[in-house]
Amino acid sequence: MSSFSIAAAIFVLVTASILGNSNAQLSSTFYSTTCPNVTSIVRGVVEQAQQNDIRIGAKLIRVHFHDCFVNGCDGSIMLDNADGIESEKDAPPNQSTDGYDVVDDIKTAVENVCPGVVSCSDILAIASQILVSANGGPTWEAQLGRRDSRTANRAGTSAIPSFLENLEQISQKFRDAGLDSTDLVALSGAHTFGRARCSTFVHRLYNFSGTGNPDPTIEAGYLETLRQACPQNGSGDTLNDLDQSTRDAFDNHYFTNLQNNRGLLQTDQVLFSTSGDTVAIVDRFANSQSDFFDSFGQSMINMGNIGVLTGTNGEIRTDCRRVN
């Protein structure tokens, strides 16, 4: 073998070793040469989608969140049932997730321009950033370079925080994912837009924890409003604003709602009504929208780094719903 061939072989081995490292850092410029227009392509699709569905931003950021908490941000949540794959979508925490058709549209548009280049997991990260900003929220540099998993983990969906859990339980799930209390409070702030079904909070309205009384942390006027929207034994599917003050705007009103005992979900209100370090963080974000925005962008980056596949791990799916 010539010296050139030996050098080339060493380069390939070293490069493969680096790329195969699942801890390799993501980069905001990952597609700068391979698909330089990816952000504008995604923006074109999601802006059109938002004209038809004002809730698409809340839907896609929720899918991104639920994806990252199961085996990391690897696009596994998007896989449909198939041979050897039990879809995570069928697990209780994900049965109400939505927006996959828009992801399909984004993927089609991206594949038309840059075939086999951009992962489905990166599409979720890009779309989340664009839609938060489009609704008045912060802009941050989405970190890219993830690859998609070839498997799903339905049982692993137990790692997703539940609307029935207390502060310690959800805090532990965030710690298990490598996220801290600031991440917990900042990412919960995504509930500044979107809706939730009556079934996710009706337990707070009539018989909280088997007491026969409502959750004492709900402000009286808000309790009456919610009872009218969600009568006892009524439809659990009725949608309610997560932030009743500015329902579709991404701002810091979510945190002033918590200060006024007007958090919709149990997991929202416990951030302020349970003694602990989250109370001061809620106060800080309520007092400074710019502080919330800065922290939210950083926490989205932190979350987006959970368990990513990079280099030669995983694949770039051509169809987000099935492995290649």
Active site residues: 66
Q: Is 148 annotated as a binding residue?
A: no
CA dihedral 88, 169, 221, 201 (to 10 degrees): 30
Q: Is 27 annotated as a binding residue?
A: no
Q: Is 191 annotated as a binding residue?
A: yes
Contacts of 126 (CB under 8 A, 6+ apart): 38, 39, 42, 142, 144
Please state, in angstroms and rounded to a whole number, the distance separating the CA atoms of residues 74 and 72: 6
Q: Is 80 annotated as a binding residue?
A: no
What are 322's strand-pairing partners?
Answer: 319
Asked if 174 contacts 236 with a C-beta cutoff of 8 angstroms, the reply is: no
Q: Is 161 annotated as a binding residue?
A: yes
Asked if 307 contacts 86 with a C-beta cutoff of 8 angstroms, the reply is: no
Q: Is 93 annotated as a binding residue?
A: no
Please state, in angstroms and rounded to a whole number, the distance separating the CA atoms of residues 133 and 147: 24
Q: Is 72 annotated as a binding residue?
A: yes
Q: Is 67 annotated as a binding residue?
A: yes
Please state, in angstroms and rounded to a whole number, the distance separating the CA atoms of residues 264 and 223: 10
Q: Is 251 annotated as a binding residue?
A: yes
Q: Nearest-CA neighbor of 39 among 150, 123, 149?
A: 123
Q: Is 123 helix (H, G, I), strand (E, B) or coil?
A: helix
Joined tokens for residue 303: 């979350």
Contacts of 182 (CB under 8 A, 6+ apart): 281, 295, 299
Q: Is 83 annotated as a binding residue?
A: no
Binding-site positions for Ca(2+): 67, 70, 72, 74, 76, 88, 192, 243, 246, 251
Binding-site positions: 67, 70, 72, 74, 76, 88, 161, 191-192, 243, 246, 251
